[in-house]
Amino acid sequence: MVPVYIKAYETGVLDERISYAQEQLADCYMCPRRCGVNRLNANKGICKTGLKAMVSSYHSHYGEESPLVGKRGSGTIFFTNCNLLCDFCQNFDISHEGRGNEVSDEELALMMLQLQRGGCHNINFVTPTHVIPQILLALKQAVIGGLNVPLVYNSGGYDRVETLELLDGIVDIYMPDFKFWDSGIAARTCDAVDYPEVARLALKEMHRQVGDLVINKNGIAERGLLVRHLVLPDEAAGTKEIMSFISEEISSQTYVNVMSQYYPCGKAYKHQELSRRITSEEYYQALMNTKEAGITRLDNLNFK
């Protein structure tokens, strides 16, 4: 399957999206925070990112979902900073503390090409919401350089539909988190009371664009939606409600990774309900909730 961005490049659609995205940086509303800063002048809002993207690291990653990893790994590019900023982020040094370096569009394109040359099955943009304009610019250069593997948009689910529309026909695989069903915990831990509604709309738009996850005969994902959900202590994430929503309003064939690896880090200890790991009973209850919702396409299960 040819990645969709190849056609977008050949038809001029990619150039149109680049132009529009660059214009948006002058009064930035790329994400639901709607900071309105002029990032073209290197001003910075909540994401602490100006005109240039920042990258923490890039490498072949074998800890991702099995259809992304295959035998040669997922080519992950970890962007520094974040538009959501969860208190319990497990990459706190990257998202909150800004570990990483600014990169040019040319450097970002070279990262993609190096990962492809290393055999990676895809290019996996981790926390890309705040750097979509920079990704699009670099993508054009990467395509000219021979990029031809699927693109994975790996976000926290806090994405505006209007911004996701820029990626229609560009992104092959969407892999959002759905973190919370309850707006109260979203407000307390991320200062994002609108997260549940934003995530619901975002997942619907992502699925509209790419559909259910398509996996080829070699077990590698080529296109579609893959949803991550991190189980939190005391059912704080609202797993039952989230899985019912996915099954009923997205698709019962959605590929889901129910994740067990939560542990308190960053500022998690500010929140009593998040100050411990989850138990095996809590994880297996989350799995039961998922199966009861009718979702059967689950990533490899491994309680950690």
Give the model confidence (pLDDT) of 60-93 as tens digits: 999 999 999 999 999 999 999 999 999 999 999 9
Q: Is residue 299 part of a domain?
A: no
Q: Where are the beta strands (DSSP E) in 44-172?
A: 54-61, 74-79, 101-102, 123-126, 151-154
Q: Is residue 224 part of a domain?
A: yes
- pTM score of the predicted model: 0.96
pLDDT tens digits, 20-54: 999 999 999 999 999 999 999 989 999 999 999 99
Both tokens assigned to 298: 């689950």
- Amino acid identity of residue 304, one-letter, is K
Give the rounded distance of the alpha carbon of 30 from its chain centre: 15
Per-residue pLDDT at 132: 98
Q: Is residue 300 part of a domain?
A: no
Domain limits at 261? Answer: 4-292
Inter-residue contact 60 to 72 (CB < 8 Å): yes
Per-residue pLDDT at 304: 41
**H-helix or E-strand spanning residue 64:** none
Q: Is residue 302 part of a domain?
A: no
Task: Give me the CATH number covering residue 202.
Answer: 3.20.20.70
Confidence of residue 301 (pLDDT cuts 50, 70, 90): low
Q: Is residue 48 part of a domain?
A: yes
Q: Is residue 89 part of a domain?
A: yes
Q: Is residue 157 part of a domain?
A: yes
SS3 at position 202: helix
Q: Is residue 270 part of a domain?
A: yes
**How many domains does the chain contain in total?**
1
